[in-house]
Amino acid sequence: MDSEDTSRRLFLIKSLTGVSSAWLALRLPEIVAAQEHAHRAMQSAAPVKFEFLSAEQAAEVEAVAAQIIPTDDSPGAREARVIYFIDRALTTFDKDKQSQYVKGLKELQSKQKKMFKNSAKFSDLNSEQQIKVLKAFEKNEFFETVRMHTIVGFFADPSYGGNYDKVGWKLIGFKDDFYFKPPFGYYDREYKEAQ
Amino acid sequence: MSAQQPKFETQTQVDFVVIGAGAAGGIIAKELSTAGFQVVVLEQGPYLKEKDFDHDEIKHFWQAALINDWKKQPNSFRKTPKAKATVQPAVMYGRMVGGGTAHFTANYWRFHEIDFVERSKLGTISGTGFDDWPITYAELEPYYTKAEWELGISGQPGPFDPPRSKPYPLPPLPIKSAGALLANGARKLGWHPQPAPMAILSQPYRGRSACSHCGFCEGYGCEIKAKSSTLATVIPEAEKTGRCEIRSGSYVRKIETDNAGRVTGVIYFDEKKTEIFQRAKAVVLCANGAETARLLLISKSNLFPNGLANSSGVVGKYLMFNGGGFATGVFEHELNEFKSVAVTRIIHDFYDSDPKRGFYGGGGLDARFDVYPIGYALGALPRETPRWGADYKKALKQYYTRSMFTFGHTTSLPVERNSISLDPEAKDSWGLPAMRVTYKDHPDDLKIMKFFSDRGMELLDAAGATKRWAGPVEESTFGVHLLGTCRMGNDPKRSVVNKYHRAHDLANLFICDGSSFVTSGRGQPTCTIQALAYRASDHIIRMAKNGEIKSA
Ligand SMILES: Cc1cc2nc3c(=O)[nH]c(=O)nc-3n(C[C@H](O)[C@H](O)[C@H](O)COP(=O)(O)OP(=O)(O)OC[C@H]3O[C@@H](n4cnc5c(N)ncnc54)[C@H](O)[C@@H]3O)c2cc1C
Ligand code: SF4
């Protein structure tokens, strides 16, 4: 964390919470450590190499994710780099889902080939066709796992590789600031004004 | 570990071992060590500090960062004693120094006078162990006040509050939008909203910082010590005495007794799973309403074949969870409930049981939207929302900042078959019998949940919600309030501890935590658990100084 950012934050904590300088001096290292964690998380890792998925598998999974949270006038799963979150999950805390991905991708492909005879890959289909395939596929356990991973990756702390540039949080209006000041929303402002 | 902490030899017979550094254990450790006694606190969880806390939803809600880990310590669950229990998460508690107070929502309600004498006022309820407490509100009042002032509670009394000898030490926290909507709606309906008493600092207090409204509160540890957990308050005080050692990563597996039926100390696993025996003159068990009962049952011996302190057969029985009656509402403008503490206004108009309703029960109502982004996207959207695709995304965008829940916190009747027992098959990672939970809400418990869900719907309507829906009323299969399994009472045949928290069966074993409750209260047990802990400490100190604790 650069020092200007640190001092600005600390100044604000101080003025908002009425903390004395002595208190801050004593706790500075702890607060900075906490803040640094949050800060690291903010700078989402640049795209890294895939560790579990092959490039081809990744393209297929990403195409599914991009239908679960599509891109419209705001970023979707693709821009959030959910695929990097998924790849990382599959090599760390969700290792046991690896075989489900391998098997599931094959099942998806056979479904897609059955519905669109000449297609080679799910990601080759146009959006309308992809939605048709997924509607027929949504009861599949693998789809449920990808849905779950996409959503978690879209909204998890950016340090996990998804939610790039906090696009997930921006979509819903969530902010992870360390401090807020009242009024917090419309109705408490109105309430205070009425008093 | 702090510089002032002593390191006791395990062969040394210390004055007290306290098992569990949670809501009650933290206070008892501080009181006993301040009074001059040597105390070893054995806590199974880690000793985390403010710098270890962060805002990672995956870690906190998916990977049990601060709570019990069901992979290592599995639970099993069944609805009735006849059914076979299946392994599934059934109880949740804070597993760290600070226990549940580190991550809790920090609602901090006193019980009302009626909570202690309800059976006398209403009569018995068949099929239950509904009973009066052996103490009254008046006896506990000084200790409520002590807890509020020592820990730092923000609040302002409301019209239904019981009498108090001192005001709250701190004014209420700033109102949020859900609180404002609750207040507006309630007034229209003729109800009486009041600021929520919270174990969170609205102003700097005793060297700790005021809340910065970060919003990562329920389920998280506070990075600036604004949440009045035992971790941030009494535990450092205990360490400062130089007579209290907090031994984290110490999982107690047995309370040991001699042939004369006296406690001699406890056996625990350290972090390397090595078994260690710590001698003590007396033991205070504060492992919460689930683990306390389990440990007593595991600690059986020839002299105590049904488990320790269990000549009554009541250990583990009368488990109470408290119920919840929910509704969700959506509003036109932004509430931004993700900021600041979870709850700012509550309603106690329906606290007392009312014979006119035709069933037993009461509770308190609050408003909040206590879901973080992942939890929201997976489970808190309006029911008709598609599960994926363009319309799912549209809904995600629309509702997060504009939603609120109403949450009714309700009574649970003490039913004997609702219990903690030992699973005959499942084991934990240390080879100890897993905790088996048997639980089926009394029909009146379900009725009061529905009653509060209905009041929530009325409130949302009155507050001007554009859309609202009632939460399901379902039988409980999971508890976060773990109460009643070693109930206090005057009759040794029907209770586990006496009114001073001494086990009826063992002169040098004390039990004080959620397990001591006789009835459930209306949610928010921690304030009462902590008042009991201050009161128990006074009596334990008195007995120790008078030579009444007969140690081995
Ligand atoms: C998400 C959540 C929100 C909550 N919000 C509120 C709220 O707003 N208001 C409220 O009043 N209550 C709330 N609660 C409940 C509150 O946390 C508990 O009621 C309270 O902490 C119980 O206090 P206790 O002293 O009985 O036990 P605990 O605080 O659970 O402490 C027991 C300690 O003993 C340790 N322990 C257990 N077994 C052993 C063993 N064998 N060896 C060594 N150590 C052991 C545990 O690890 C734990 O640290 C909430 C709970 C949860 C889960
Ligand atoms: S909302 Fe306040 S009390 Fe809660 S964690 Fe944040 S700063 Fe601490």
- DSSP per residue, A73-139: SS--TTTTTHHHHHHHHHHTTTGGGHHHHHHHHHHHHHHHHHHSTT-S-GGGS-HHHHHHHHHHHTT
Amino acid A49: pLDDT: 80
CA of A21 to the centre of ligand 2 (A): 20
CA angle (A75, A79, A82) in 5-degree steps: 120
The phi-psi region of residue B193 (left if phi > 0; otherwise alpha if psi is between -120 and 50; otherwise beta) is beta
Each residue's pLDDT, cut to its tens digit, for chain B (552 residues) gives: 455 789 999 999 999 999 999 999 999 999 999 999 999 999 999 999 998 999 999 999 888 899 999 999 999 999 999 999 999 999 999 999 999 999 999 999 999 999 999 999 999 999 999 999 999 999 999 999 999 999 999 999 999 999 999 999 999 999 999 999 999 999 999 999 999 999 999 999 999 999 999 999 999 999 999 999 999 999 999 999 999 999 999 999 999 999 999 999 999 999 999 999 999 999 999 999 999 999 999 999 999 999 999 999 999 999 999 999 999 999 999 999 999 999 999 999 999 999 999 999 999 999 999 999 999 999 899 989 999 999 999 999 999 999 999 999 999 999 999 999 999 999 999 999 999 999 999 999 999 999 999 999 999 999 999 999 999 899 999 999 999 999 999 999 999 999 999 999 999 999 999 999 999 999 999 999 999 999 999 999 999 999 999 898
Between A29 and B74, the higher pLDDT residue: B74
B17, B72, B251, B291, best to mutate for ligand 1 pocket (most atoms within 8 Å of CB): B291
Q: Which pLDDT score is estimated for B61?
A: 87
Q: Pick from A157, A187, A191 the residue to mutate for testing the B interface (most B CBs within 10 Å).
A: A187
Starting from the CA of residue B321, give the closest ligand: 1
Q: ipTM score of the complex?
A: 0.95
Chain-wide mean pLDDT for chain A?
84
* pLDDT, position B2: 52
Q: Whose CA is nearest to atom 37 of ligand 1?
A: B287
Inter-chain touch B180–A154, beta carbons under 8 Å: no
What pLDDT shows up at residue B3? 54
CA distance A186 to chain B (A): 6
DSSP type of residue B84: P
Question: pLDDT category, A46, cuts 50, 70, 90?
Answer: low
Residues in chain B with CB shorter than 8 Å from the CB of A176 are 55, 216
The Cα of A118 is separated from the nearest Cα of chain B by a number of Å equal to: 25
Assess A30–B contact: CB distance below 8 Å, yes or no.
yes
Q: What is the mean pLDDT of chain B?
A: 97
Q: Do A38 and B55 touch (CB under 8 A)?
A: yes
Q: Distance of alpha carbon A27 from its chain centroid, rounded?
A: 32
Per-residue pLDDT at B4: 73
**Ligand 1: does its nearest atom lie under 6 Å from the Cβ of B24?**
yes
Ligand 2 contact, B255 CB (< 6 A):
no
CB within 8 Å of B197: residues ≥ 6 apart: B107, B108, B109, B110, B153, B154, B155, B168, B172, B527
Q: Is B374 on the interface with A (CB under 8 A)?
A: yes
Residue A37 has pLDDT above 90, yes or no: no
Of B55, B214, B333, the CB nearest to A179: B214
Q: Which chain A residues are closer than 8 Å to B462 by Cβ? A: none
**pLDDT number for residue B500:** 98
What is the pTM assigned to this prediction?
0.94
B107 lines ligand 1 (CB under 6 A): yes
Three-state SS at B468: strand
- Which is more confidently placed, B414 or A5? B414
Q: Do B334 and A186 touch (CB under 8 A)?
A: yes
* pLDDT 10s digits, B136-147: 999 999 999 999
Protein residue with its CA nearest to atom 46 in ligand 1: B95
**DSSP β-bridge partners for residue B408:** B325, B365
| CA B105 to ligand 2 centroid distance, Å | 10
pLDDT above 80: residue A21: no
Over 70: is that where the pLDDT of A4 sits?
no
* A45 pLDDT more than 60: no
Note the pLDDT of residue A48: 64
The B residues from 42 to 101 touching A (CB cutoff 8 Å) are: 49-51, 53-58, 62-63
B160 touches chain A (CB under 8 A): no
Residues in contact with B32: Cβ distance below 8 Å, sequence separation at least 6, in sequence order: B15, B16, B18, B39, B244, B284, B537, B540, B541
